[in-house]
A and B are shown apart, each in its own frame.
Chain A
């Protein structure tokens, strides 16, 4: 047995056998799909502003809510996971990806009941986003407070 399939070398040798992800194409797909989702969000904001006479600030919440609703529906109809496989980060990063992680976990655990199944597991994937979101907000808030009290 030559060195390449030696137990220690194996992880390096493997790389020659694994199909390479096409990084450029993947980035492009993520960029286009992510961009389209944001463009659609902007359209929703414009609609809420022009049709329902909201200010830009007021239109923010209904825009996000609409995107979440649509993402949850697409998850339920089995479309969003296919979109995710195609677009990668493009569909994972926007708020629709967050909604998908919650809806998919809720659907998955429906058979275990509403409380211990759906409610307990809903944030199985999204929980870490919330934890780090809150921690990051807290840290940034403190930095801002310190910065303000020293320099302003």
Chain B
């Protein structure tokens, strides 16, 4: 059975994550996970003329590193799945233009990292593709322009705000055996608990993460102890405690093994408000630090739940509430891989 319970996919044929690539900006490189990234830039422009080009460069670098490590050339890839935060997903579409790999563009805001990985794995499992590359990117300055104010504008942000991670992550998925198996995925529903504050996305997204995690446990019959780590994408310092308390009310205690990529990627003294956010937040942490921790045997099985706030500045100005979503993917260490 591939479909388990209501929203969970169990990949029937073993699907593996063969290699990954990450590229980040200066702030992420200075963070506690700085040495887990493949490529880091010491300047936010990444030697490009504008922010959009910088973000595109990050995604290209992540993909090329991923392919290089996986030992494949781009014409051996059957499908490219990608997404980002910009209007019309320009980063992904323009990167895909130069890759000439059949391409499906996806958008799930910051949940796109796990959305592309889950769908890519399903297509590999179903035999629709042999090798799939899943990639996402975000850039602090392009996101500021897209969702907030000009980069240099001197407006004051509240403590609940998050700081968009500059970076990109890519993963190569196939049925060729490796140390990291992609076991299952839980696809989230869009949740809206009626919050309106675009400067507090942790609170907005916590119910989405709660729903996906709870449904995953119900679908699989597992409990939190089944995983060495349950990691959310970018709930930050505000959303993480809400998620824990919500799950606790359903008797799922994830206090001992929960962490949030947005809290892992920066040091607390880096002036990032409540933590990191963006598609790249969960991607660079998962495809860097978490994959490495699985490879080294520090973790055996983890559940990565990427959270996304599906908001638009226009909708916020029209006083609409913020819909959110979360998708989770289970990654496990498998001995005897290449």
Contacts and interface: CB of A to CB of B under 8 A. Distances in A.
Q: Is the A/B pair a real complex?
A: yes
Interface of A: 1-2, 5, 7-8, 10-11, 13-14, 17-19, 21, 75-76, 78, 80-81, 83-85, 87-89, 91-92, 97, 100-101, 103-105, 107-109, 111, 124-125
Given A11-B195, A14-B203, A111-B52, A100 B153 contact: yes
Contact of A125 (B49, B153, B157, B242): B153
Q: Which of A10, A14, A75, A125 has the most CB of B within 10 A?
A: A14
Contacts of A92: 154-156
Contacts of A11: 193-195
Contact-size category for B: 20 to 34
A14 B160 CA distance: 11
B169 to A, nearest CB: 25
Contact of B158 (A17, A21, A80): A21
Contacts of A10: 193-195, 207
A107 B195 contact: no
A22 B150 CA distance: 25
- Which of B149, B160, B195 has its CB near the most chain A CB atoms (within 10 A)? B149
Nearest to B196: A11
B215 to A, nearest CB: 14
A18 B200 contact: yes
Contact of B151 (A7, A19, A104): A104
B238 A17 contact: yes
B90 interface: no
Nearest to B242: A17
A11 B274 CA distance: 18
A103 B152 contact: yes
Contacts of B51: 111
Contacts of B223: none
Nearest to B246: A5
12 contacts: A1-B250, A10-B195, A19-B160, A19-B274, A75-B152, A81-B151, A84-B154, A88-B156, A92-B156, A104-B150, A104-B153, A111-B51
B320 to A, nearest CB: 14
B154 A75 contact: yes
Interface in B140-184: 145, 149-160
A64 B160 CA distance: 35
